[in-house]
Amino acid sequence: MKKIYFALLGLAALMIPDASMAQNQTLTSETGELPSVVERIISQHDTLTGMHKNFRHIKSHINLEFASSANAYFTEDSFDELSFRINRVRLEIYGRLNPSLSYHFRQSFNKYSNPYSVDNVSSSIEYANIMWHQSERFELVAGKQFVNLGGYEYYVNALRVREFSEFNNSVACYQTGLAGILHLSPSQELVLQVVNDRSGSDDDLFLYGRPADVRAARFPLLASVNWNGLFADGAVHLRYAASAGQLAKGSNIYYLTFGNIYEKGPTVAYFDVMYSREGLDSQGRLTALQTSGAGYVPVTARNVEYLTLIANFDYSFHPKWNAYVKGVYETASIFKENGFFVKGRYLTTWNTQACLEWFPFTEDKGLKIFAHYLYKGHELSAHAKTLGAAMPHTQRVSLGVVYVIPVL
């Protein structure tokens, strides 16, 4: 307890505002009656009786998420290297201030950037929002939040995924904005959301920047409609969404994303369809096929479309053991000729995965040790080879550990 006490004192000291700041006014007065968060967790002052009563209960949780592995990398059939990697470290704090207000904060220590120019926050901050539970039927979320696309791989906690599809690995899935959640029934909800479609400038979003002849977006926003439903006593879960936004003037982006999940007993199976149609290549995967030695200056591709199909089957054959197999098929194409990009498919990517997971403690599913195999193959079309693209097949064998530590 002493260590926790001194850590809190140190954190408080770091948060004292610098006297040199122009705007130095505090949010609450030192002599005011508004209790601090800690005071409200412990007790609340009853101004009528002058007594303290423990009748306000704030539910708060702090989790530390950790994932690490030893990885052997292969290109084609040749061994490249064996190295250790910290795959993920995240700190999460969430809970309720009262029956109507909840909050969610999460920071990743595997990402770093200075505050972006649009949302004024580092990319390491994934969640920083507050939710108003207006009623049992409606909730409102404001702040940095999850972008509500469909699909299961996109939605599920990243600690449960050893390797994402290229599609989901390229989408910036945390943005700042506003979302309304309408609970249509106990088993169905409709989410209406408007968020920024990027955190930083056009140079941050596009691999080679926004083309000189294209004007910047005046409304760089993404609007989404997301429907989620549970059927067959919760065994069937559907996550469907449609999104549209403006990348630049005259260049829009559209998403159609579908997740179909079956989860019952020891079995979890899902099939996702992810599609995007982009006036400018925001994912950058097709743009990255260009090489500077091809006799021209690389530019951001236009009129790009991506399609991804994901199939996964998990089976827990013992309380301490789980295994899954997964397959991903993806394409990258140009749907309308632009510059030296002709219409047609440029890249086909597929990956196959197999994983065995062991939970040493049946009562604590937060700790697991895994062995994972990944094979990723690529097929470049004649159009891509004209750009000088080269993309060999790769393999990876991993042995690692995942642990979610419930700090509080």
Per-10-residue mean pLDDT, the chain, length 408: 40 38 41 48 48 54 92 95 95 91 93 77 91 96 96 90 94 95 96 94 88 92 97 96 96 97 96 98 94 78 97 95 97 94 96 96 83 97 91 96 87
pLDDT of residue 219: 93
Q: Which CATH class is domain 34-406?
A: mainly beta
pLDDT of residue 52: 47
> CA 336, CA 368: separation in Å to the nearest integer?
47
**Domain chopping of the chain, boundaries:** 34-406
pLDDT of residue 47: 47
pLDDT of residue 28: 38
pLDDT of residue 295: 67
For residue 398, count other CB atoms closer than 10 A to its CB.
Answer: 19
Measured between alpha carbons, how far is residue 40 from residues 30, 45, 46, 362 in Å? 16, 9, 12, 35
Q: Which of 122, 103, 15, 19 minimizes the C-alpha distance to 59?
A: 103
pLDDT of residue 144: 96
403 sits in which H/E element? strand 394-406
pLDDT of residue 57: 55
pLDDT of residue 305: 97
pLDDT of residue 406: 85
